[in-house]
Amino acid sequence: MDFEDTREEAEFRAECRAWLEANASERAPGSEVGMSARDNETVERAQAWQAKKADAGWACITWPREYGGRGATRIQGSIWNQEEARFETPPNLFLIGQGMLGPTLMAHGTEAQQTRYLEKMLRGEEIWCQLFSEPGAGSDLAALRTRAEQDGDAWVINGQKIWTTGAQYSRWGMIVTRTSPGAVKHKGITYFIVDMHAPGVEVRPIKQINGGSSFNEVFFSDVRVPAENMIGRVNEGWRGAITTLMNERAAIGGGGMGGGVDTLVRLAQQVPIDGRPALEDAGVRQRIARLYIRQRGVQLAGLRSLTALSRGETPGPDLSIGKLVGAPLRQEMAAFALELLGPMGAVDDDAVGDRLWQQAYLGAPGGRIAGGTDEIMRNIISERVLGLPPETRVDKHVAFEDVPTGRKS
């Protein structure tokens, strides 16, 4: 066991850092990398940064060389991520593509699809979105109703997707559709690559709790998709969708903890309670300790599963706990920071302060819903990891068209 870098790792880290120092400036403590863009200018900045990395061989470094990666190990990938996180970079608009859809194409796509899409995805030239959820299908994703029907050598898509992050600036989407409503739920689903600029695709932004609009509704009216854009086989799309979801949990699990416990400790040293620093309050110290243990615990669990993965073991349970711990933790941490600020915690104004914790608080509930809610994570852990019985299902042996879905009023 060694939590320090080996000599080769230290050299690699130095190499990463040297390039980053020459090309970016250090991030202010407490700030974090964004995941969405409010305007075109931000999208362009993000793409420029991604292209710069790609030119220097620092984009998706764990990807195989044939797609533009450098075939780096997972540990090297994690070293790069740690180092990049220390620098001020534009928002990462590529995570859904590079972290989830790219790996799905590598596993289930045709060679022609891999050649056509992966390198541009890596370079950030084309941004991707994930068209999974619908008004009646989220946790129960297989309840999706968006139809795809064959017409000659194309498929015609009709229906609605919702909560689609980044659809407004995406060039491509990966969409799960229903192709066989008479089959049981999971058996009639087909997975496609869809051109977001195709006629009949309409994207409408949705305003969120935090005032931003990173996600959208997307409507499909007679959108034609060539048959070559199918991922895997007709009616067998669920397998590919599962690959995407597994990668999603891994990709967002360990993610962003910008305003972490160290920032909270500094806050507690500064803000007063009855004229003394809040940190002198024993109750405050208890809460900080509990938050720290969870934050450090998920970080270390992530590093542990990295060791297992780099030995060729299958992803361990530790991977699936990252999201379940990390998302509520962010929310609790932000809520506690606002409490420490007292009434000033309610001030969410650029002219007064950095709004770090206010924005974290308003954004945090989304993390507990996106990519599988807390409850779905607990189901996954209890069933797949602990081997407890699956939920009782009433929709298992019934044709999909006979299953109730969505809201009833």
Partner 1 sequence: MNFDFDDDQKALQRAVREYLERESPLSECRRVLEGEARYSETVWRGAAEMGWLGTAIPERYGGAGLGALELALVAEEVGRALAPIPFASSIYLVSEALLQLGSEAQKERYLPQLAAGTCIGAFALQEGPGHGNGQALATVLKDGAITGDKQPVLDGDVAGLYVVACRVGDQPRLALVGAGEGVKATPVACIDGSRALARLQLSGAQAELLGDGGDAAAIEHLLDRAATLMAFEQLGGADQAFAITREYVLDRYVFGRPVGSFQAIKHRLADLFVDISLARSNSYYAAWALAGSADELPVAAAAARAAASDAFDLAASEMVHMHGGIGFTWEADAQLFYKRAKLLALTLGSPTHWRDRLTLRLARESAA
Ligand X SMILES: Cc1cc2nc3c(=O)[nH]c(=O)nc-3n(C[C@H](O)[C@H](O)[C@H](O)COP(=O)(O)OP(=O)(O)OC[C@H]3O[C@@H](n4cnc5c(N)ncnc54)[C@H](O)[C@@H]3O)c2cc1C
Interface residues with partner 1 (CB under 8 A)? 1-6, 9, 75, 261-262, 265-266, 268-269, 279, 282, 284-286, 288-290, 292-294, 296-301, 303-304, 306-308, 317-318, 321, 324-325, 375, 377-379, 381-383, 385-392
Best CA proximity match to 379, nearest among 392, 365, 390, 367:
390
Stretch of 54-62, 161-169, 231-239, 296-304 lying at the interface with ligand X (CB under 6 A): 161-169
Reported in sequence order, the residue ranges of 200-337 that DSSP labels E, i.e. its strands, are 201-205, 215-226, 230-231, 272-273, 276-277
Report what 373 binds from partner 1, ligand X, none; CB cut-off 5-8 Å by kind: ligand X
Please report whether residue 165 would count as binding ligand X according to CB under 6 A: yes
| CB burial string 246-275: b at 16+ within 10 A, e below | bbbbbbbbbbbbbbbbebbbebbeebeeee
Q: How far is CA 67 from the centre of its chain?
A: 21
Report CA-CA distances (Å) from 317 to 184, 225, 302, 305, 382: 30, 38, 10, 8, 10
**Considering beta carbons, is residue 173 or 188 the nearer one to ligand X?**
173
Q: Which of 119, 134, 236, 248 is catalytic?
A: 248
Please report whether residue 19 would count as binding ligand X according to CB under 6 A: no
Report what 59 binds from ligand X, partner 1, none; CB cut-off 5-8 Å by kind: none
Please report whether residue 133 would count as binding ligand X according to CB under 6 A: yes
Among 95, 245, 288, 370, binds ligand X (CB under 6 A): 370
For residue 219, the cross-strand partners are 160, 202
**Considering beta carbons, is residue 154 or 273 the nearer one to partner 1?**
273
248 in active site: yes
Number of amino acids touching ligand X (CB under 6 A): 21
How large is the C-alpha radius of gyration of the chain?
Answer: 22
Reported in sequence order, the residue ranges of 272-361 that DSSP labels E, i.e. its strands, are 272-273, 276-277
Residue 286 Cβ, how far from partner 1 at the closest point, in Å? Answer: 5
Report what 143 binds from partner 1, ligand X, none; CB cut-off 5-8 Å by kind: none
CA distance 156 to 370: 28
The residues annotated as belonging to the active site are 248
